[in-house]
């Protein structure tokens, strides 16, 4: 047997015989430390994150839309469930007061309320969501045919009494609440959330820094004040913090003051106070609050089945900040100092 050729190396005064063999391209040269092979760089595939059309936040699947008419006077506060809403509309009603219509889809609170009666303006807002489930506590007799023809699934207390209950510790009519799962169960074909024209993303140029913004109706006043710590516009109504029954102050990532034409409808309440009709189709001006800034914007909604688009004064999409959106439907023209 042939032995490999040997070379003599003197280490620490001692002779050591080492075999000499040819070095391959992957082996270190004599006297060099072995080097680990560099791992192959991983191939990064772009991951598409789906964002909800109502909030701009990630979601796993789109769910049915539930609209709920909610009391908005001091007698009905604090409201329950509003923190989970995707969108909250503020609408003028009789005597210059306001009432809310909360839109739920990505999150569904166990209970919601106080639930109050519907108004004609609700029936004009609803069609942009397709055919949502609509929860309310009755309407005047004259409006019943309008509800029957509207683009919605009626899950009001008359048709679906089992979903409603009287909340202890509150007095009528401000004690009617609803179990949301029972409401949805009564509208199995309710439309799922879809694009309604809103865009989310980075803020555009041209915003005016604002600490707060106030919008008024004849008998109601809202102030939205920016909280840098919470990254929200915290809400005050008529000079008082708007608190949630779940705890904490109500607030939204984006607030829209949408200036609309508001006129007298054919309906009125028991005191002969007329019911306003808020026109949410057509074109108009808006102020969008996000990230501690106010932006002048334009809005447009071609028909009741269409969504509402918001653009900057230069015509670019007016992106909202991801999160809950409040849309205050007001009739006075905007002024940003």
Q: What is the mean pLDDT of residues 77-83?
A: 97
- Averaged pLDDT for residues 223-250: 97
pLDDT tens digit sequence for 265-294: 877 766 667 888 899 999 999 999 999 999
For 120, residues 6+ apart whose C-beta sits below 8 A from its C-beta are 143, 146, 265, 267, 275, 277
Whole-prediction pTM: 0.84
Give me 241's structure tokens: 């913090």
Each residue's pLDDT tens digit, 1-18: 443 333 333 333 334 333
| Candidate from 20-29, 42-51, 200-209, 274-283 with smallest mean pLDDT | 20-29
Structural domains in the chain, sorted by start: 66-330 (3.50.90.10)
Q: Cβ–Cβ contacts within 10 Å for residue 60, how many?
A: 8
Count of alpha carbons within 13 Å of 22, Cβ hemisphere only? 2
């Amino acid at each position: 047997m042939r032995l490999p050729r040997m070379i003599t190396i003197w280490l620490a005064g001692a002779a050591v015989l080492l075999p000499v063999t040819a070095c391959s391209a992957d082996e270190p040269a004599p006297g060099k430390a072995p080097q680990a092979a560099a791992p192959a760089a991983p191939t990064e595939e772009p991951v598409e994150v789906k964002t909800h059309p109502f909030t701009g936040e990630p979601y796993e699947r789109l769910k049915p839309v539930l609209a709920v008419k909610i009391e908005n006077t001091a007698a009905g506060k604090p409201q329950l469930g509003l923190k989970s809403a995707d969108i909250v509309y503020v609408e003028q009603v009789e005597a210059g007061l306001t009432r809310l219509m909360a839109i739920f889809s990505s999150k569904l609170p166990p209970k919601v309320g106080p639930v109050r009666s519907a108004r004609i303006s609700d029936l004009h807002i609803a069609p942009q969501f397709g055919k949502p489930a609509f929860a309310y506590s009755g309407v005047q007799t004259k409006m019943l045919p309008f509800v029957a023809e509207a683009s919605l699934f009626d899950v009001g207390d008359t048709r679906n009494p089992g979903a409603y209950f009287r909340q202890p510790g509150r007095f009528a009519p401000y004690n009617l609440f609803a179990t949301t799962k029972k409401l949805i169960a009564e509208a199995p074909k309710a439309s799922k959330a879809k694009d309604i024209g809103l865009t989310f993303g980075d803020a555009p140029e041209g915003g005016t820094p604002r600490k707060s913004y106030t919008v008024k109706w004849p008998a109601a006043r809202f102030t939205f004040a920016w909280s840098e710590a919470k990254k929200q516009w915290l809400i005050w109504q008529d000079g008082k913090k708007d608190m949630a029954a779940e705890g904490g102050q109500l607030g939204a990532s984006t607030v829209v003051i949408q200036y609309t034409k508001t006129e007298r409808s054919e309906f009125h309440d028991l005191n002969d106070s007329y019911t306003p009709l808020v026109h949410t189709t057509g074109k108009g001006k808006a102020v969008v609050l996000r990230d501690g800034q106010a932006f002048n914007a334009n809005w447009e909604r071609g028909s009741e089945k269409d969504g509402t688009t918001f653009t900057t004064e230069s015509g670019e999409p007016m992106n909202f900040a991801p999160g809950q959106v409040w849309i205050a439907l007001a009739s006075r023209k905007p002024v940003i100092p």
